Amino acid sequence: MSVRKLKPITPGQRFRIVNNFDTITKSTPEKSLTAPLKRSGGRNNKGKMTVKNIGGGHKRKYRLIDFKRDKFGGSEVLSIEYDPNRSAFIALIEYKKDKEKRYVIAQNGLSVGQTIVASDNKITPEVGNTMPLKDMPLGSIVSCIELRPGQGAVLARSAGAFAQLMARDGKYANIKLPSGEVRMILSVCRATIGIVSNSDHQLLVSGKAGRSRWLGRRPRTRPVAMNPVDHPMGGGEGRASGGHPRSKNGVPAKGYKTRSKKKASSKYILERRKR
């Protein structure tokens, strides 16, 4: 994976940095694994806007991703593809047993023709293989981690994300998550070996405001430019600073802890994320 800086032949391309897509091997998705994707424009079922700054954007098809990896056995990687709905690349795999095709999150180093295995038993800890945390060597770099057995991957799924298996204690495994948080997860939960693909995603520069519109993001008005009726940080004579930073609902930002102290899952967190 690599990035490419464009020549400044237009103002929008002057600072533009794009992905080379050198690992992508196929440009059209598998038709049987796509579904229509309806847009809400940030509105709920009453038509009321509940999320701001959403609307427009290019039409997309949703790719049905197998996050559970609950079909065991070997499968061959047919292609590495771009997915407009996520930052990571996806891999089209075909199971050797019955030729069924599925999409999975692609890991760094995954290539066409490679065989990857999902199992509930101990298997070789190679990139792309999915197995329970109890069968992985300590220190393993993993991604696409389950939080509850059989739930499907919910942690470390975005581009370049990974976690590390630190230790095992009884029926729990200690995992250091991408945020820096160390958390206890049941050892029977499954994870995939390797780092999520497209790790250069963080280096991309859009170059112009129009690209945000293509992605479905509408312009955002600064709170200090609003009137007092519209935002707690609005109003004032001249260019007022806006006071203490807070959300539209008055919840303080920048350092204010919103996590409930009574949350049941707090007992599984050994070390909080780094600020």
pLDDT at 125 over 80: yes
Mean predicted confidence (pLDDT) in 219-236: 94
In this prediction, residue 38 carries a pLDDT of: 94
- 275 has pLDDT over 80: no
Dihedral of alpha carbons 219, 223, 228, 229, sign: positive
For the residues 165-186, what does the mean pLDDT come to? 96
pTM above 0.95, yes or no: no
Which tokens sit at 204?
A: 């991309």
How many angstroms separate the most distant Cα atoms in the chain?
Answer: 72
pLDDT of residue 210: 95
- pLDDT tier at 242, thresholds 50, 70, 90: confident
* Percent of the chain residues past pLDDT 70, beyond the cut: 99
Please name each of the domains of the chain with its CATH number.
3-202 (2.40.50.140), 226-275 (4.10.950.10)
Which residue is associated with the tokens 């794009």? 18
For the chain, the average pLDDT equals 94
Residue 78's pLDDT band, with cuts at 50, 70 and 90, is: very high
| pLDDT score for 2 | 87
User: How confident is the model at residue 274, as a pLDDT?
Assistant: 78
Kindly report which listed range (120-124, 126-130, 146-150, 223-227) carries the lowest average pLDDT score: 120-124
- In DSSP terms, 254 is beta-bridged to none
Q: Report the pLDDT averaged over residues 193-207.
A: 95
Contact, 177 vs 113, CB < 8 A? Answer: no
